[in-house]
Amino acid sequence: MAWKKWNFILHRDMGYLCIGLTLLYGISGLVVNHTSHAFNPSYTIETQKSQVSPLAAGKSPDMNYIQQCLQELNVTAQFKNVTMLTPETMRIFAEGYTIDVSIASGETVTERVERRPILFAINYLHLNKGKGAWTWIADIYALAICLLALTGFLMIGGTGRRRALVLTIIGFLCPLLYLLLLQ
């Protein structure tokens, strides 16, 4: 029948088109699912405690002291900004670094943030952080996936019909059972 032929062609070509984005959304979905306080899927965050020279009593922190702290911590990244969180704690911002300095004791907590290679980009797209044009592309992809599922459903038949129906029903039951039994 002619419709079966066109259904197959549509399913096949939509499948080809969706390979790239399905991998992108699949991999990103996997890591984003496990977002927690201990795991950011887009960034690596390292925290390290250290020690710098304390600020002399009675002195106010200035650029010289900030540069000295950065030098002692071996931070060569470009300085961005500085603020006092409390009268005792100064926070220095440098590219990729946030450094809290206890000015009286010289104790520091350095947080280093780096984008995860590849994962940052695919999560950026998956989570649609950029909005705009990507919203359209993602919408089209979502519709394409629906079409892929429907054309796939219409291909059920022949010798593997029973197996196809069982697998399809399992696919529907997974979310339904989860919602009914585990929520």
Partner 1 sequence: MKKHSLFLLVLFLLSVTTCFAAMQLGEPLTLEEVTKVSEINQHPDQYTGKRVLIEGLIINVCAARGCWMDIASDVPFEKIQVKVVDGEIVFPLEAKGQMARVEGIVEALHLTEDQARSLAEHQAKESGGQVDLTSIKGPSTYYRIRGLGAEID
Of 21 and 69, CB closest to partner 1:
21
d(CA 172, CA 127): 25
d(CA 14, CA 148): 6
The residues in 105-134 that bind partner 1, with binding defined as CB under 8 A, are 111, 113, 121, 124-125, 127, 129-130, 132-134
Of 113 and 149, CB closest to partner 1:
113
Of 137 and 142, CB closest to partner 1:
137
The interface region with partner 1, picked from 50-58, 59-67, 84-92, 175-183 by CB under 8 A, is 84-92
The interface region with partner 1, picked from 43-51, 61-69, 146-154, 162-170 by CB under 8 A, is 43-51
Q: Are 17 and 137 in contact (CB under 8 A)?
A: no
Of 125 and 150, CB closest to partner 1:
125
3-class secondary structure, 49? strand
Region for residue 60 given its phi and psi (left: phi exceeds 0; alpha: psi -120 to 50; beta: otherwise): beta
> Could you say whether residue 37 binds partner 1 (CB under 8 A)?
yes
> Could you say whether residue 22 binds partner 1 (CB under 8 A)?
no
User: β-pairing, 43-51 with 107-115?
Assistant: antiparallel
DSSP string of 76-133, one letter each residue:
-SPEEEEEESSSSEEEEEETTEEEEEETTT-EEEEEEEEEPTTHHHHHHHHTTTT-TH
Write out the residues near partner 1 by the rule CB under 8 A: 16-17, 20-21, 24, 35-37, 40, 42-43, 45, 47, 80-81, 83-87, 91, 93-96, 98, 111, 113, 121, 124-125, 127, 129-130, 132-134, 137
